[in-house]
Amino acid sequence: MYSDAVKVLKEFTLKPCPFCGGIAKIGITSDYESYYHWAKVYCTECFVKIEGTPSLDKDRIEDFSDEEKRELIHAWNMRYGEVE
C-alpha cells in the first residue's frame, strides 16, 4: 500500500523548496540501466532533489524504511541559520 509514505508525510511536513518555493514531495528514482532505485525528496516545480542510498532490492517508495525517509525529509527541511 502507499500508506507508508503518506504516514511519513503526515508525521513530517516537508518545507517548500528553498530555491523556488515549490511544493516538495517524497518519491523514488530508478536507473533502468543499473536497476538501482532510491528514495528522494524533490521539488515539483524546479525538480531540485536530494536522494537516499541506491538499492537493488527495493523498487517502490514503500520498500524504503521509515528511517531512511525520515533522514531525507530531515535533510530537505534543514535551512541555513535555523537551529534545531
Contact code string over 30-69 relative to Zn ion, x by CB under 5 A: -------------x-xx-----------------------
Instruction: Note whether 17 binds Zn ion by CB under 5 A.
Output: yes
SS (H, E, C) 24-62: EEEEEEEECCCCEEEEEEEECCCCCEEECCCECCCCCHH
Q: Which of 4, 15, 22, 77 binds Zn ion (CB under 5 A)?
A: 22
Residues found near Zn ion in the complex (CB under 5 A): 17, 19-20, 22, 43, 45-46
